[in-house]
């Protein structure tokens, strides 16, 4: 695994956020609900889905959604997340979705310590485009982890 570092311009994702009171909501259930409501998101790019992960003190939450080309009214019951321009390590993940945790663990333990970078936030996101094929060993998604240069002795 060799991540690449990119500078991504600011963008907005609109979608469904897991309710804090319902930590058991499955990500698959959110995607199904979002699919039924996709037409409500004005300016969404339906060919690229985002799964935003928030690592919080009380657990792991997520938002599933689509980037919007232009900010418009957020549909009732949905959330807009605005991302500033940022530097990301883009990690390729091939295969089953069950292996994403292993891909991230390898990034943290193998690549990151010697890369000259460090994580800059606990939030990260996965990008699902036409390379994603459910249940295929050839499926490919990209994981974006915010990073900044690390300094010796810092």
pTM of the model: 0.90
pLDDT band at 67 (very low <50, low <70, confident <90, very high): very high
Q: In the chain, what percentage of residues exceed pLDDT 90? A: 69
61 in Cβ contact with 54 (< 8 Å): yes
Long-range contacts of 59-64 (CB under 8 A, 24+ apart): 59/23, 61/17, 61/18, 61/20, 61/23, 62/17, 62/18, 62/27, 62/30, 63/13, 63/15, 63/16, 63/17, 63/18, 64/15, 64/16, 64/27, 64/30, 64/31, 64/34
Domain ranges of the chain: 4-149
**Which of the four pLDDT bands, split at 50, 70 and 90, describes residue 55?**
confident
pLDDT interval class at 153 (50, 70, 90)? very low
Looking at CATH, the fold of the domain delimited by 4-149 is given as Multidrug-efflux Transporter 1 Regulator Bmrr; Chain A (3.20.80)
Mean pLDDT of 135-141: 92
Tokens describing residue 5: 């570092």
């Amino acid at each position: 695994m060799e991540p690449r570092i990119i500078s991504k311009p600011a963008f907005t994702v609109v979608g469904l956020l897991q309710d804090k009171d319902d930590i058991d909501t499955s990500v698959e259930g959110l995607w199904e609900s979002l699919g039924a409501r996709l037409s409500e998101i004005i300016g969404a790019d339906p060919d690229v889905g985002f799964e935003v992960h928030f690592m919080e003190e009380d657990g792991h939450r997520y938002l599933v959604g689509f980037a919007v080309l232009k900010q418009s009214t957020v549909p009732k019951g949905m959330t807009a997340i605005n991302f500033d321009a940022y530097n990301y390590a883009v990690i390729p993940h091939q295969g089953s979705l069950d292996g994403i945790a292993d891909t991230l663990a390898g990034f943290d333990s193998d690549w990151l310590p010697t890369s000259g970078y460090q994580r800059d936030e606990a939030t990260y996101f996965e990008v699902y485009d036409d390379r994603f094929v459910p249940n295929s060993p050839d499926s490919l998604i990209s994981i974006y982890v915010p990073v900044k240069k690390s300094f010796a002795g810092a």
